[in-house]
């Protein structure tokens, strides 16, 4: 094993253990911040010792033992108030005890933690960052970069959310059946928001790596709730998009999906995504993420068949608009219309106050107008879209299209 | 944990209490709720309040007592009543708040009650 591989193995185990340990301790004390503080030094030690000494046989027991030792040094931990410390030590003892007796060791409470992070009593803007920090262990500065928020603002948001969880007494539990669909949807939305933040930022740009973190969360959720079709579908959706990462740019230029070189698409990820979709199709109902993943699957099939099934796309987008009537879905459905005039009519039906600053609306409108031979109007719409594009590569692409309209 | 279920009502909501048609259902729903809370063994305290125009505000300034008629704020919604319940967590408190009659016609806020010594 090279140093690099050793480090990667350590990082992987540390990440897996981090979420499990925070979840275990916090689900008992409701105090996420105290659990994080207690574990921070233990992880620092692990990242120094493990690459040299190899992974311990039971990494979590090693980490908990280190955390307990750190807690003992009370004076060094002005951040952790003493009453919490005694309670935390007790929970750590419990976990260590469980590990020596139980075959699976300590219970995996990460699912409960995910539901707490996406609890409706937590501010919407804090939910995804909270998940990234507590379940994966990302630091606030990196999360702030990904969401284009000053680091101090993000830290404060996270501190507030954790204090709220502790002080309002939010329950660490998997929601009861009547509430489960809505609560699970909030978890899925929060994971997808992390993926989108990474996706919009593109590779190399600050925050681009968040897509990997979101996929990791998606995998964790599927592992914890393998029967939930929407969890399977969200992972499938993210993997389909991720498979095309290498094809999204040619040099610095933006490459739209239809023009992407399918040789650059990742076969392994596509196969995994489609496998997940097959599993999802065995469940009941047809959800929003299942529909979105199916749309991406139709696009992915171009790699094997050389063509895009436009009729299937049109049908799926119509279904998506019914399942999740967002502006994004409506605009995408209009773009998928084989009849440009019908697409334009659909766009005209989108609420007007929502579209003035929505770049895809103007880009799709421009495209449809160009297809109908209405060059002057198309040029005007391309101008609007280009002015709204935040990504310089996308702006260039739209301006190039404009000259052809 | 103890939580206060705070029911905030508008003037129209307060008027229901004396409306010949609505008064019956209004009071019945509240006494049924009160009974359910008691039966569940979570009741700590609770009361309905007279409407805000029955409020009298007091301030002490420079040792002088300033008394004014009316509520402390001109807000459109005013405190109509409250329950304090003792349940394991916020989610249980929210379930009880959702069953409270006020949730259906007005707004209900759930707040943890500070423990003495906190």
Judged by a CB distance cut-off of 8 A, whether residue B90 touches chain A is yes
The residue of chain A nearest to residue B118, with distances taken between CA atoms, is A167
Judged by a CB distance cut-off of 8 A, whether residue A323 touches chain B is no
Give the tens place of pLDDT for each residue, B78-102.
Answer: 999 999 999 999 999 999 999 999 9
Q: What is the structure's pLDDT at A102?
A: 66
User: Rounded to whole angstroms, how far apart are CA atoms A48 and A62?
Assistant: 13
Contacts of A81 in chain B (CB under 8 A): none
Query: DSSP class of residue B18?
Result: T
Contact assignment for A121 to B90 by CB distance below 8 Å = yes
Q: What is the structure's pLDDT at A235?
A: 98
Judged by a CB distance cut-off of 8 A, whether residue A167 touches chain B is yes
Judged by a CB distance cut-off of 8 A, whether residue A163 touches chain B is no
Mean pLDDT of A337-362: 89
Contacts of B3 in chain A (CB under 8 A): 169
Q: A116, A165, A169: which to substitute to probe chain B, counting the most B Cβ within 10 Å?
A: A169
Q: What is the structure's pLDDT at A204?
A: 46
Mean pLDDT of A323-335: 92
Q: What is the structure's pLDDT at A206?
A: 45
Give the tens place of pLDDT for each residue, A332-345.
Answer: 999 999 999 999 99
Query: Is A274 within the bounds of a domain?
Result: no
Contact assignment for B112 to A171 by CB distance below 8 Å = no
Task: List all residues 6 or more positions away from A167 whose beta carbon is below 8 Å from its beta carbon.
Answer: B112
Distance from CA of B79 to the nearest CA of A (A): 21
**A102 and A41 within one domain:** yes
Q: Which of A188-202, A340-354, A373-387 has the highest mean pLDDT?
A: A373-387
List the single range of A83-92, A206-215, A257-266, A373-382 with lowest mean pLDDT. A206-215
Q: What is the mean pLDDT of chain A?
A: 89
Q: What is the structure's pLDDT at B34?
A: 96
Judged by a CB distance cut-off of 8 A, whether residue A312 touches chain B is no
Q: What residues make up the domain containing A138?
A: 110-167+179-225
Place of tokens 């125009």: B53
Task: List all residues 6 or more positions away from B14 whose beta carbon is below 8 Å from its beta carbon.
Answer: B51, B52, B78, B80
A94 by Cβ neighbours in 10 Å (0-12 / 13-18 / 19+) ranks as middle
Residue A74 above 90 pLDDT? Answer: no
**A49 and A6 within one domain:** yes
CA distances for A141 relative to A58, A120, A147, A162, A302, angstroms: 30, 25, 10, 17, 40
Q: A112, A171, A174, A177: which to substitute to probe chain B, counting the most B Cβ within 10 Å?
A: A171
Q: Do residues A35 and A26 lie in contact, with contact meaning Cβ atoms separated by under 8 Å?
A: yes
Mean pLDDT of A169-180: 92
Task: List all residues 6 or more positions away from B94 whose beta carbon is below 8 Å from its beta carbon.
Answer: A121, B110
Contacts of B91 in chain A (CB under 8 A): 170-171, 173, 175
Residue A354 above 80 pLDDT? Answer: no
Higher pLDDT, A212 or A205: A212
Phi, psi of A286 (to 5 degrees): -140, 105
Judged by a CB distance cut-off of 8 A, whether residue A168 touches chain B is yes
pLDDT range class, residue A292, cuts 50, 70, 90: very high
**A139 and A220 within one domain:** yes
pLDDT range class, residue A185, cuts 50, 70, 90: very high
Last residue of a domain, one of A68, A89, A108: A108
Contacts of B92 in chain A (CB under 8 A): 171
Judged by a CB distance cut-off of 8 A, whether residue A169 touches chain B is yes
**A79 and A35 within one domain:** yes
What are A60's two structure tokens?
A: 């979590």
- Comparing CA positions, the residue from A294, A289, A330 lying closest to residue A312 is A294
pLDDT range class, residue A71, cuts 50, 70, 90: confident
**A129 and A52 within one domain:** no
**A121 and A102 within one domain:** no
Mean pLDDT of B9-29: 93
Higher pLDDT, A108 or B4: B4
Query: Is A362 within the bounds of a domain?
Result: yes
Q: What is the structure's pLDDT at A104?
A: 63
Residue B2 above 60 pLDDT? Answer: yes
Distance from CA of A119 to the nearest CA of B (A): 10
The residue of chain A nearest to residue B1, with distances taken between CA atoms, is A169
Residue A307 above 90 pLDDT? Answer: yes
Percent share of chain A, pLDDT over 90: 59
Q: What is the structure's pLDDT at A385?
A: 94
**A116 and A213 within one domain:** yes
Query: Is A215 within the bounds of a domain?
Result: yes
Judged by a CB distance cut-off of 8 A, whether residue B91 touches chain A is yes
Contact assignment for A170 to B94 by CB distance below 8 Å = no
Q: Is A313 helix (H, G, I), strand (E, B) or coil?
A: helix
**A101 and A117 within one domain:** no
Q: What is the structure's pLDDT at A73?
A: 67
Percentages helix, strand, coil for chain A (3-state, rounded to 5) are 75, 0, 25
Q: Do residues A299 and A310 lie in contact, with contact meaning Cβ atoms separated by under 8 Å?
A: no
Query: Is A300 within the bounds of a domain?
Result: no
Q: What is the structure's pLDDT at A85?
A: 78
The residue of chain A nearest to residue B92, with distances taken between CA atoms, is A171
**A197 and A144 within one domain:** yes
Contacts of A170 in chain B (CB under 8 A): 89-91
pLDDT range class, residue A117, cuts 50, 70, 90: very high
Q: B2, B42, B90, B111: which to substitute to probe chain A, counting the most A Cβ within 10 Å?
A: B90
Give the distance, in angstroms, between the CA of residue A378 and the centroid of all CA atoms in the same chain. 35
* A vs B: CB pairs below 8 A: 22
Query: Is A265 within the bounds of a domain?
Result: no
Query: Is A11 within the bounds of a domain?
Result: yes
B114 by Cβ neighbours in 10 Å (0-12 / 13-18 / 19+) ranks as exposed
ipTM of the complex: 0.85
Contact assignment for A171 to B89 by CB distance below 8 Å = yes
**A125 and A82 within one domain:** no
**A120 and A83 within one domain:** no
pLDDT range class, residue A82, cuts 50, 70, 90: low
Give the tens place of pLDDT for each residue, A215-228.
Answer: 999 999 999 999 99
User: Rounded to whole angstroms, how far apart are CA atoms A216 and A235?
Assistant: 9
Query: Is A207 within the bounds of a domain?
Result: yes
How many structural domains does chain A have? 3
Give the tens place of pLDDT for each residue, A10-23.
Answer: 788 888 889 999 99
User: Rounded to whole angstroms, how far apart are CA atoms A100 and A240?
Assistant: 41
| The model's pTM | 0.87
**A191 and A102 within one domain:** no
Written out in words, the top-level CATH class of the domain with range B2-112 is alpha beta
Mean pLDDT of A232-246: 96
Percent share of chain A, pLDDT over 70: 93
Instruction: Dump the DSSP string for A323-355.
Output: H---HHHHHHHHHT-SSHHHHHHHHHTS-GGGT
Residue A76 above 80 pLDDT? Answer: no
Distance from CA of B91 to the nearest CA of A (A): 6
Contact assignment for B89 to A121 by CB distance below 8 Å = no
Q: What is the structure's pLDDT at A220?
A: 93
């Amino acid at each position: 094993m090279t140093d690099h591989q050793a480090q990667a193995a350590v990082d992987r185990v540390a990440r897996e253990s981090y979420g499990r340990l925070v979840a275990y301790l916090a689900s008992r004390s409701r105090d996420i911040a105290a659990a994080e503080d207690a574990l921070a030094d233990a992880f620092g030690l692990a990242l120094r010792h493990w690459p040299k000494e190899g992974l311990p046989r039971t990494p979590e027991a090693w980490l908990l033992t280190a955390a307990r030792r750190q807690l003992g040094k009370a004076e060094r931990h002005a951040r952790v108030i003493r009453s919490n410390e005694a309670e935390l030590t007790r929970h750590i003892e419990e976990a260590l005890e469980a590990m020596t007796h139980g075959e699976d060791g300590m219970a995996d409470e990460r699912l409960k933690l995910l539901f707490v992070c996406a609890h409706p009593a937590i501010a919407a803007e804090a939910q995804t960052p909270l998940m990234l920090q507590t379940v994966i262990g990302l630091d606030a500065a990196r999360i702030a970069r990904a969401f284009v928020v000053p680091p101090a603002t993000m830290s404060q948001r996270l501190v507030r959310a954790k204090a709220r969880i502790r002080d309002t007494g939010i329950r660490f539990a998997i929601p009861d059946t009547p509430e489960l669909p809505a609560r699970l949807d909030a978890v899925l939305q929060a994971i997808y928001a992390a993926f989108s933040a990474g996706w919009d930022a593109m590779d190399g740009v600050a925050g681009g790596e968040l897509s990997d973190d979101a996929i990791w969360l998606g995998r964790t959720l599927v592992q914890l709730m393998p029967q939930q079709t929407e969890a399977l579908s969200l992972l499938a959706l993210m993997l389909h998009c991720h498979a095309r990462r290498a094809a999204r740019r040619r040099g610095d230029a933006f490459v739209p999906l239809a023009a992407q070189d399918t040789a650059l698409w990742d076969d392994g990820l596509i196969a995994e995504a489609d496998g997940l979709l097959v599993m999802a199709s065995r469940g009941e109902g047809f959800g929003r993420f299942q529909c979105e993943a199916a749309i991406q699957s139709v696009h992915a099939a171009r790699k094997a068949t050389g063509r895009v099934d436009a009729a299937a796309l049109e049908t799926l987008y119509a279904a998506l608009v019914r399942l999740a009537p967002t502006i994004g879905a409506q605009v995408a459905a209009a773009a998928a219309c084989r009849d440009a005039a019908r697409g334009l009519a659909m766009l005209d039906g989108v609420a007007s106050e929502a579209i003035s600053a929505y770049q895809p609306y103007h880009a799709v409108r421009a495209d449809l107008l160009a297809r109908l031979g209405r060059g002057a109007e198309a040029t005007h719409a391309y101008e609007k879209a280009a002015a709204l594009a935040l990504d310089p590569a996308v702006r260039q692409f739209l301006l190039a299209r404009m000259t052809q309209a | 944990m103890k939580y206060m279920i705070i029911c905030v009502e508008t003037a129209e909501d307060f008027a229901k209490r004396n409306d010949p048609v609505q008064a019956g259902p209004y009071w019945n729903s509240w006494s049924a709720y009160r009974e359910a809370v008691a039966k569940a063994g979570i009741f700590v305290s609770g009361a309905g309040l007279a409407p805000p125009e029955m409020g009298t505000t007091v301030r002490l300034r420079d040792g002088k007592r300033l008394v004014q008629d009316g509520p402390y704020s001109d807000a459109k919604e005013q405190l109509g009543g409250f329950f304090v319940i003792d349940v394991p967590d916020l989610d249980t408190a929210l379930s009880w708040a959702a069953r409270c009659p006020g949730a259906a016609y007005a707004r209900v806020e759930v707040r943890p009650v500070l423990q003495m010594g906190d």
